[in-house]
Amino acid sequence: MLKQYITHKLKNLTVEELLYYSKMYNISISRREAEKIVKELRRNKEDPFEKQGRKKMLKKLSEITSAETAHSVDVLLHKIAKQYGLEEWLH
């Protein structure tokens, strides 16, 4: 149930929320990159909790932004998961 909620939240993430989290965790993401990331997350059909699904999602993000930005998104996902005690879900 919680995984479904988080997946739903990722698909409905706003640019402002993404920028808020990136600032909170001191991860550099520009507004333009955030717009592209949010658009792609809404289209993403991969499971971010599965390693292969997350890898495919991050590969697509690196294609539309950069490898560094995709890595930053991965770091951000892990930091948010850790904040909520869910880091073991990102295997």
| Percentage helix, strand, coil for the chain under 3-state DSSP, each rounded to 5 | 75, 0, 25
Scanning the structure block, which residue is given the tokens 């990722």?
A: 10
pLDDT at 91: 66
pLDDT given at position 32: 95
Q: What is the pLDDT of residues 67-87, one digit of tens each?
A: 998 998 888 888 888 877 877
Confidence of residue 90 (pLDDT cuts 50, 70, 90): confident
pTM exceeds cut of 0.75: yes
Q: What is the pLDDT of residues 8-60, one digit of tens each?
A: 888 899 999 999 988 988 888 899 999 999 999 899 888 888 889 889 999 99
